[in-house]
Amino acid sequence: MSSENRWTLERVLFVMAGTVTIVSVILAALVSPWFLILTAFVGASQLMYATVGDCPSSFVIRRVFNLQGCAR
């Protein structure tokens, strides 16, 4: 796989965060408002990644899929 087609860590994190946010909002609307806690967790993880450079998901993705970020 060429380096232009490889997904970076940031791209995977954005896809995951967007997917989990949409799913949690749908679940909050259809099942229980308590699913909005999941949305808050995604937002907190994004803030952590922006300020610190890592979040819980980035540790897992980096180790399991051996992805590197743009800044690393």
In a domain, 22, yes or no: yes
In a domain, 2, yes or no: no
Whole-model pTM: value is 0.80
pLDDT tens digits for 10-65? 899 999 999 999 999 999 999 999 999 999 999 999 999 999 988 888 888 888 88
In a domain, 42, yes or no: yes
Task: Identify which of 64, 25, 62 has the alpha carbon closest to the alpha carbon of residue 43.
Answer: 25
Check the CA dihedral 60-70-20-34 and report its sign: positive
Better pLDDT: 17 or 1:
17
Number of structural domains the chain divides into: 1
In a domain, 71, yes or no: no
In a domain, 4, yes or no: no
Residue 44 sits in which domain range? 9-65
In a domain, 1, yes or no: no
CB distance 17 to 42 below 8 Å: yes
In a domain, 23, yes or no: yes
* DSSP, res 62: H
